Amino acid sequence: MHIDTNTIRTLERRRPALLRHFIALSSEDRRLRFGHPIGDEGIAAYVAGLDPLRDGLFVARDGRRRVIGVAHIALADNRAEVGLSVLPDARGLGLGTQLFNSAAEFARASGVVRINMHFLTENECIQHIARKAGMLIVSHSGEADAHVLIPENANLASEPMAGPAPDAGTAAAVD
């Protein structure tokens, strides 16, 4: 498995692969990723609206170059929000953590001082990643908000923001 550690800036030729990734998610996985039920049309609109000049996009690919995981980090002022998805057959390998760490490093390099994640409280995978990143999680009425402050001049690749070290795994740039 390979993670593109550079944010995608030339998105147009990659939109079909991103769309295939999100469409491949089950209805339950889509609900957990987006926080509500979403159909193919809604996913197509989401992918069409991705702006690689404003936001960070990171992908994990398998040996067949199929997109198996995506991190989208939306930037606004000095804050960012991260969304993650990993296909079921690639879960449990630390890809979500690696994608989050790539997104967090991009956020830090972009001058962001706070990273947020909004998710359903039943999304145990995202809660696990948030806890490992040292995020403060606040739950209310079935939803949760998590955030972490990014220390200035932190080297997130070698020093996690807080908590245990990130999962080990192969991280290599791919085009």
Can you give the three-state secondary structure of 69-133, one letter per residue? EEEEEEEECCEEEEEEEECHHHCCCCHHHHHHHHHHHHHHHCCCCEEEEEEECCCHHHHHHHHHC
Span 7-18, mean pLDDT? Answer: 72
Condensed to tens digits (0 to 9), the pLDDT of residues 111-168 reads 999 999 999 999 999 999 999 999 999 999 999 999 999 876 555 444 444 433 333 2
Higher pLDDT, 64 or 41: 41
- Range 2-149 classified under CATH 3.40.630.30: yes
Query: 49 pLDDT band (50/70/90 cuts)?
Result: very high
Q: Where are the domains of the chain?
A: 2-149
Among 8-12, 51-55, 115-119, the range scoring the smallest mean pLDDT is: 8-12
Taking the mean position of all CA atoms in its chain, how far away is CA 108? 15
Question: Would you state the pLDDT for residue 154?
Answer: 53
Question: Would you state the pLDDT for residue 32?
Answer: 96
DSSP 32: H
Q: What is the mean pLDDT of the chain?
A: 83
Higher pLDDT, 153 or 99: 99
Question: Would you state the pLDDT for residue 9?
Answer: 54
Q: What percent of the chain has pLDDT over 70?
A: 79
Question: Would you state the pLDDT for residue 55?
Answer: 86
